[in-house]
Amino acid sequence: MTPLLEVKDLRVSYGKIEAVKGISFSIEQGEVVTLIGTNGAGKTTTLRTLSGLLRPTAGTITFDGKRIDGRPAHDIVSLGLAHSPEGRRIFARMTIEENLLLGAFLRKDAAGIQSDVQRAYDLFPILGERRKQAAGTLSGGEQQMLAMGRALMSQPKLLMLDEPSMGLSPIMMQKIMATIAELKAAGTTILLVEQNAQAALSLADQGHVMEVGRVVLSGTGQDLLVDESVRKAYLGED
């Protein structure tokens, strides 16, 4: 089977600083793949490059059979790759429903859009209860739900989540992780970037450990969870 996403020898620089130094990985349809690693490893840079916000200096990105490296971000969204960014980037003064609808800005099927808004409310009931309120009144965890809901509104073939648990209470983090598991069970293909390696690897089919711009270790989520070097570096064990 051809992978849904194939990244080969990808390099990305900010001026003279090379943040991603030749990484390769692929994602099969229906898989959850996670990138873990410390701050500055290049995970966010990788996601921003996949979604067209940064241009790679070398390498190729093939998504759903098409080369997408160097294409503009709106083209990439329309091909089915959605990004829920780090820090959430919701629009605080717009209502929750307006924020969700922004995720559907390339769609024309009004009935389908309405049923997907309803699906977001089924997934995250709090969003439905507060649909007419300004999004800035939501808690951090609820804003994360909104960012995920908004990304899903483009009906993505691949959903990229950048640090969905960042800054959340343990309970809210569990809720977000449970939702990712629910999306996975429904067949959504997900690329998950997380600082919380334990939670991410527990969910993931495949994981890649990044350090200073390189993938230094790859394996199934289960293999990495029991790997001694991963346990020491990322799971807080001696």
Binding site for ligand ATP (CB under 6 A): 14, 17, 19, 37, 39-45, 86
Q: Nearest-CA neighbor of 140 among 167, 163, 161?
A: 167
Q: Nearest-CA neighbor of 202 among 217, 223, 188, 185?
A: 223
* The amino acid at 165: S
CB of 195 to ligand ATP, least distance (A): 6
CB of 206 to ligand ATP, least distance (A): 18
User: Looking at beta carbons only, is 64 or 86 nearer to ligand ATP?
Assistant: 86
User: Looking at beta carbons only, is 45 or 84 nearer to ligand ATP?
Assistant: 45
Rounded Cα distance between 200 and 123, Å, is 20
User: Looking at beta carbons only, is 37 or 207 nearer to ligand ATP?
Assistant: 37
How far is it between the farthest Cα atoms of the chain?
Answer: 55
Rounded Cα distance between 85 and 104, Å, is 16
**189-194/32-36 β-pairing:** parallel
User: Looking at beta carbons only, is 43 or 208 nearer to ligand ATP?
Assistant: 43
CB of 200 to ligand ATP, least distance (A): 12
CB of 142 to ligand ATP, least distance (A): 22
- Please state the separation of Cα 148 from the chain's center in Å: 9
The answer to whether residues 158 and 27 touch, using CB atoms and an 8 Å cutoff, is: yes
User: Looking at beta carbons only, is 134 or 166 nearer to ligand ATP?
Assistant: 166
Query: Is 73 buried (19+), middle (13-18) or exposed (0-12) by CB count in 10 A?
Result: middle
CB of 5 to ligand ATP, least distance (A): 18
Written as six digits, the tokens of 29 are: 């349809």
CB of 161 to ligand ATP, least distance (A): 13
User: Looking at beta carbons only, is 41 or 204 nearer to ligand ATP?
Assistant: 41
CB of 193 to ligand ATP, least distance (A): 7
Cβ-Cβ contacts under 8 Å for 3 (sequence gap 6 or more):
26, 27, 28, 29
Q: Nearest-CA neighbor of 69 among 163, 5, 15, 21?
A: 5
Cβ-Cβ contacts under 8 Å for 199 (sequence gap 6 or more):
165, 173, 177
User: Looking at beta carbons only, is 54 or 148 nearer to ligand ATP?
Assistant: 54
